[in-house]
Amino acid sequence: MMDLDLTGKRALVCGASRGIGRAVAQTLAALGAKVTVLARSEKDLSQTVASLDTGAGQEHGLLVTDSLSENSLTATIKALTLETAPVQILVNNSGGPPPGPVHTADAEEFTRAFTQHVIANHKLLEALLPGMKESGYGRVINIISTSVKEPIKGLGVSNTIRGAVASWAKTLAGELGPSGITVNNVLPGFTSTERLASLLEGRAKKTGRPLADIEQDALNSVPMGRFARPAEIADAVAFLASPAAAYINGINLPVDGGRTSSL
């Protein structure tokens, strides 16, 4: 029987103020995990916490931080290390860099994106890894993008940095596997979030075409003929976080309705 039970496990879900991150927090909580949500907006995080299931012994919390601020992230890490119970599940999730071609990107855009994604992910891992090893259970799941497999036109900086996160994760998977800690990436395709809406609106303005036509173009590229719901991405994350996925390590899992054409 498949074991998806997360009772007694603690999870830290980044970027959980809305969209995919909020859906992940809700799904992990529904499976019994105690969830701490992290993002910049305390108001939005409070709404996320209020939406989480609270079964026997479940207590959820929030941490307000800005991954681009070293002081803010350091304070968050200190708060995490002061917790008596270890965090066994780390879900790294953060909004993507602004769109645009890679050849016109300013060097500072790469620096900011690398700090927000790779450096922030690594600092959180450093803080949580001892607890994972001590408890004998560890799951690191990075929500990235299908651009890891096929670069997406017009997302130059994002394509570059998402690839860096994937390589970081693959390296960690080999290093941490002997400790029973898995590191995997979930690659969402077109998902009904504010991020997707913003990208499509930006494309419509840039091309002068109607938004409805831009949306239809996107839908035409998906064999399933629709955008994903955030909860569908969350289901994949929850599976990789569960005991059932103990032998799955170092993979890139597209959740994109078949849009990615490569193997």
Co-location of 223 and 234 in the same domain? no
CB-based contacts of 192, cutoff 8 Å, min separation 6: 227, 228, 229, 230
Identify the band that residue 118 occupies on the pLDDT scale cut at 50, 70 and 90: very high
Compute the half-sphere exposure of residue 72: CA atoms within 13 Å on the CB side of its CA: 14
pTM of the model: 0.96
Residue 118 belongs to what domain range?
Answer: 10-189+229-254
Q: Does some domain include residue 4?
A: no
Q: Does some domain include residue 2?
A: no
Whether the CA torsion 37, 43, 48, 52 is positive or negative: it is positive
Query: What pLDDT, in 10s, does the model give residues 24-67?
Result: 999 999 999 999 999 999 999 999 999 999 987 899 999 999 98
Co-location of 131 and 184 in the same domain? yes
Q: Does some domain include residue 156?
A: yes
Co-location of 94 and 195 in the same domain? no
CB-based contacts of 42, cutoff 8 Å, min separation 6: 62, 64
- Residue pair 18/194 in contact by the 8 Å Cβ criterion: yes
DSSP letters for 157-175 = HHHHHHHHHHHHHHHHHHH
Query: What pLDDT, in 10s, does the model give residues 58-112?
Result: 999 999 999 888 888 888 888 888 877 899 999 999 988 999 999 999 999 999 9
Identify the band that residue 116 occupies on the pLDDT scale cut at 50, 70 and 90: very high
CB-based contacts of 46, cutoff 8 Å, min separation 6: 62
The domain total for the chain is 2
Return d(Cα 29, Cα 27) in angstroms, integer.
5
- Residue pair 2/245 in contact by the 8 Å Cβ criterion: no
* Partner residues linked to 36 by β-bridges: 12, 61
* pLDDT recorded at residue 205: 93
Q: Does some domain include residue 66?
A: yes
Percentage with pLDDT > 90 across the chain:
87
Q: Does some domain include residue 97?
A: yes
